[in-house]
Amino acid sequence: MKAIVLAAGYATRLRPLTDQVPKPLLPLAGRPMLDYLCDKLDAVGEVDAIHVVTNARFAPDFAGWSGGRDGRAPIRVHDDGTTTNETRLGATGDIRFVLDEACIRDNDLLVVAGDNLFDYDLTDLVAFWREKRGASAISVHDVSDLALAAQYAVVELDADDRVISLVEKPPLPKSTLAATATYVFAAAHTGLIDEYLDAGNPPDPIGLFPSWLYRRAPVYGYRFAGEWLDIGDREQLLEADNRLRARAGLEARAAYVL
């Protein structure tokens, strides 16, 4: 199994913090955000390589970070060649780029957004996925509020946890289960990314591909408890920093600064 970390965005809502530092490398409690995610990936024994896809602007930053990281799984940084928010490939486009660049089309994939922070073990997600035999899987979290759910991709599951609906930011959510930009795609399904993109479907956001996929192949939802943070703005960034600072025995901060 190969892991792909999506880190090619430009995080415009966090400017000027992200003018010089890519969002996944912003420090939380003194460590780059991406370190926490890669610790989770390292714990998954099936993952034998971590592929981080970024853009031309920040590729040197990620290369420097990966060179200083001492983890179990080797890390390879991929520069998708884009230089602006307007010319980015999009999350699904970046997955296809890595599949070709790294020659890993015949592998199962564990795909995670680089700004995703959560408590649960990815080993549990992979174990759940393996039980489904040939399906793909998506991590879902109950945000317990319909208004909040409307900000995310909303998932409905049947009694066997198979996805029966997945809608990106619906105005009237039918569920409080939010997709959390963490996926396991079976090798048999990764080839469908070409069909999806070649048909002219949007490459972004990432939730649109599994929304298309579940109508053509079995996709299951893995429910997890505990904390989950999708860091999109300064308020969420400060909250994540202070939560991790508290765990590390550090004082909380009133504002996030580099």
Distance, in Å, from the CA atom of 172 to the CA atom of 152, rounded to the nearest integer, reads 12
Instruction: Decide if pLDDT at 258 tops 90.
Output: no
Instruction: Decide if pLDDT at 229 tops 90.
Output: no
Please write the tens of the pLDDT for every residue from 40-99. Answer: 999 999 999 999 999 999 999 999 999 989 889 999 999 999 998 888 999 999 999 999
Domain map of the chain by residue range?
A: 2-135+180-247
Superfamily of domain 2-135+180-247: Spore Coat Polysaccharide Biosynthesis Protein SpsA; Chain A (3.90.550.10)
Please write the tens of the pLDDT for every residue from 121-165. Answer: 999 999 999 999 999 999 999 998 898 889 889 999 999 999 999
Instruction: Decide if pLDDT at 3 tops 90.
Output: yes
> Mean pLDDT, the chain, as a whole number?
94
Q: Which H or E element spans position 142?
A: strand 136-142
What confidence category does residue 12 fall into, taking pLDDT thresholds of 50, 70 and 90?
confident
Query: Residue 210, preceding bond cis, omega within 30 degrees?
Result: no
Matching residue, tokens 């025995």: 249
User: What's this model's pTM, rounded to 2 decimal places?
Assistant: 0.94
Contacts of 46 (CB under 8 A, 6+ apart): 1, 108, 126
